[in-house]
Amino acid sequence: MTTSIIVDDVSKTFRYNAHPTLKQVLRSRLQRERTPSTFKALDGVSFEVKQGESIGLMGLNGSGKSTLLKLVSGVMRPDEGKVLTRGRISGLIATGAGFHKELSGRDNIFMNAAMLGMSKEETESKFDDIAAFADVGRFMDTPVGNYSSGMFARLGFAVAVHVDCDIFIADEVLAVGDRPFKKKCMKRMREIRDSGVTLFYVSHSAGSVKKMCNRAIVLEKGRLGFDGDVEEAVKYLHYDGEDEEPDAEESEEDERDEALASDI
Ligand SMILES: Nc1ncnc2c1ncn2[C@@H]1O[C@H](COP(=O)(O)OP(=O)(O)OP(=O)(O)O)[C@@H](O)[C@H]1O
C-alpha cells in the first residue's frame, strides 16, 4: 500500500505570550521571574499513514491535535522534524478559516475552493452541489461576516467535501452545526473514507472514532501516547486517571453519535 503521510520526529514550539506589554516585560524583569516563555505543543511525534487508512486523532484539550493537523495540511511548518504528504489535501481545520468576512457566501466558495486547489471551472461545475450541501438558503449572497458559526462550518465543509483529494482532514466538524448537518457530515465523511481517501479525523467522542476510523492516535501533552487499534485507544484514554470528568461527557456525546450513526 502507498504511503500517504510521514510525520518524522516532529516538534512545534509556541510562545506563551508572543506580544507582552511593556508593563508585563518590566514586571517580569523586576520580579526576576524565571518562568519559561515557550512550550512544546508537539514533541518528537513520529508515525506513518498508508493511503486509505482512517485515523482518529484523540487526546485531551491542548494535547496538540489541531497543531498536528495544521502541520500535516501545510498551514504551519514544524520547528524540528519533517512532514511529508502525498497528493491533494482537503478538509476543514478551523471553522471560518480562510473566509473573507466582507465577501458573500458565493464569493467565499470560489475563494476557498481555489485555496484548496480547485480551478474556477471545476468550482462552477460543482457550485450547485456545494450550495445544496451548505444549505444556507438565501444567505448565499450575504457577507459571511453576518453568518452564525454553524453557517460558517456548513460553507467550509461543503467546499471541502467537494474537492477531489487524497487526504481529508476533519477537525471541529461535529463541534458546531445542528443535528441534521452533523448527520450529513458523518455520512459524507464515510463516503470519502470508503472511496480510498486517507482520513484524519479529530474527535473527543470515542463512539464516532470507533464508527469512522480503523486506527487511532492519542496525543498526550504534545507526545504520541498511543498509536494503534481504536478499541485499545479508547481503553487507553479511559485508563488515564486524569480523565474522570470527561468520561461522563464523552458517554453522553457517544450516545448522540451512536444515534446519529444509526440514523445514517
Ligand atoms: N499559534 C499558537 N500560539 C501559541 N500557542 C498555541 C498556538 N496554537 C496552539 N497553541 C497552544 O498549543 C497547545 C496545543 O493546542 P492545540 O490546538 O493543538 O490542541 P488540541 O489538542 O487541538 O486542543 P482541543 O482539544 O482543545 O482542540 C495549546 O496549549 C494551545 O494553547
* pLDDT score recorded for residue 89: 92
Residue 95 beta carbon below 6 angstroms from any ligand 1 atom? no
Across-strand partners of 233? none
Distance 66 CA to ligand 1 centre (A): 7
Average pLDDT, the chain: 85
* pLDDT score recorded for residue 243: 40
| Mutational pocket test of ligand 1: of 12, 39, 63, the residue with most ligand atoms within 8 Å of the beta carbon | 63
- Per DSSP (E only), the strands in 159-242 are 167-170, 198-202, 215-220, 223-228
C-alpha–C-alpha distance, residues 243 and 241, integer Å: 5
Contact 56, 214 (CB under 8 A): no
* pLDDT score recorded for residue 116: 85
**pLDDT above 90 for 253:** no
Stated as kind and residue range, the H or E segment containing 206 is: helix 206-212
Average pLDDT of 137-165?
Answer: 89
* pLDDT score recorded for residue 49: 97
Task: Look at ligand 1, atom 16, and give the residue with the nearest C-alpha.
Answer: 64
The reported pTM is 0.82
The band of 10, judged by pLDDT with boundaries at 50, 70 and 90, is: very high
Residue 61 beta carbon below 6 angstroms from any ligand 1 atom? yes
Task: Look at ligand 1, atom 7, and give the residue with the nearest C-alpha.
Answer: 14
Q: Which residue is it, cell 448527520?
A: 183
**pLDDT above 60 for 207:** yes
State the helix-helix crossing angle for 120-134 and 149-160, rounded to 10 degrees: 140
* pLDDT score recorded for residue 258: 52
Average pLDDT of 124-146?
Answer: 93
Which atom of ligand 1 sits closest to the CA of residue 42? 14
C-alpha–C-alpha distance, residues 163 and 94, integer Å: 17
Instruction: State the virtual CA torsion across 126, 129, 135, 140 in degrees, nearest 10.
Output: 30
**Predicted ipTM of the assembly:** 0.95
Instruction: Please name the fold of domain 3-87+166-263.
Output: Rossmann fold (3.40.50)
What per-residue string of b and e applies to 46-83 under the rule 16 or more CB within 10 Å gives b? eeebebbbbbbbbbbeebbbbbbbbbbbebbebeebeb
Q: Which of 175-189, 207-221, 233-247 has the highest mean pLDDT?
A: 207-221
Triad 221, 227, 230: Cα angle to 5°? 110
* Nearest residue to 90 (alpha-carbon basis) of 158, 169, 186: 169
Contact 148, 175 (CB under 8 A): no
C-alpha–C-alpha distance, residues 74 and 85, integer Å: 9
C-alpha–C-alpha distance, residues 180 and 191, integer Å: 17
C-alpha–C-alpha distance, residues 157 and 248, integer Å: 29
Q: Report the share of the chain in percent with pLDDT over 70.
A: 85
Residue 37's Cβ-side half-sphere holds a number of Cα atoms within 13 Å equal to: 9
Task: Look at ligand 1, atom 24, and give the residue with the nearest C-alpha.
Answer: 61
Greater confidence (195 vs 23) lies with 195
> Nearest 5°: phi and psi at 52?
95, -5
Task: Look at ligand 1, atom 29, and give the residue with the nearest C-alpha.
Answer: 62
**pLDDT above 60 for 245:** no
And the C-alpha cell for 110? 470560489
Q: Which of 42-56, 129-143, 164-178, 243-257 has the highest mean pLDDT?
A: 42-56
In the chain, domain spans: 3-87+166-263
Q: Which of 11-20, 153-162, 236-245 has the highest mean pLDDT?
A: 153-162
**pLDDT above 60 for 260:** no
83-116 pLDDT, tens per residue?
Answer: 999 999 998 776 666 788 999 999 999 998 998 8
**pLDDT above 60 for 261:** no
